A and B are shown apart, each in its own frame.
Chain A
Amino acid sequence: DTAVSQTPKYLVTQMGNDKSIKCEQNLGHDTMYWYKQDSKKFLKIMFSYNNKELIINETVPNRFSPKSPDKAHLNLHINSLELGDSAVYFCASSFTEQETQYFGPGTRLLVL
């Protein structure tokens, strides 16, 4: 299946832990993104990468570190997790920033 996939789907962890979320797309897109959807369903961009290069960093705390080993993957590592990090994190990809974005299924993160 051609799509954007994320793992894990659910992540429950304690405050202070470090966790990673992986994202892969096999659509041949050059641009990938991470979005955060909060408890009020508000969706906000965190990062975007184009061909492994960081393009947008939306004043996200530096506890969040994206890594793009190649243009088909964009992983998100979060250090020292806080309660406020609890949210659904969506990965997305597109050919260019202006084109339609295709979203992953989301990773529901709960920090206890």
Chain B
Amino acid sequence: AQRVTQPEKLLSVFKGAPVELKCNYSYSGSPELFWYVQYSRQRLQLLLRHISRESIKGFTADLNKGETSFHLKKPFAQEEDSAMYYCALFGWGKLIFGQGTELSVKP
């Protein structure tokens, strides 16, 4: 069975601090992984996907197949980064989301 785990329900950091949102996955094939973000009362939108290897809004995520992880990182958090972040795995024809991590960046 494929599964996506985000162990932190809530992550609170101060502005300027580094941020790491954890994501671990369980999948027997070659994974396609995404990070989606949902700002307050807004629609879900793609932040980044591992095959593009881009940095969006200062966020990066590296696929670590050995640790089956796809953690999202940003060196200096901004208040506007406060949002709900979802890690997602494409497998068996569908997108499977993790439980989500709410990031709160305090001034």
- Taking beta carbons and an 8 Å cutoff, which residues of A are in contact with B? 4, 40-45, 48, 55-56, 58, 90, 92, 97-98, 100-106
- Classify chain B: how many residues form its interface, as a range: 10 to 19
Whose C-beta in chain A lies nearest to the C-beta of B48? A100
A97 touches B94 (CB 8 A): yes
A90 touches B100 (CB 8 A): no
Q: Can you list 18 contacts pairing A with B, beta carbon distance less than 8 Å?
A: A41-B84, A42-B99, A43-B86, A43-B97, A43-B100, A44-B97, A48-B93, A55-B93, A92-B44, A97-B90, A97-B93, A97-B95, A98-B32, A100-B34, A102-B45, A103-B44, A104-B43, A106-B43
- Taking beta carbons and an 8 Å cutoff, which residues of B are in contact with A? 32, 34, 42-46, 49, 84, 86, 90, 93-97, 99-100, 102
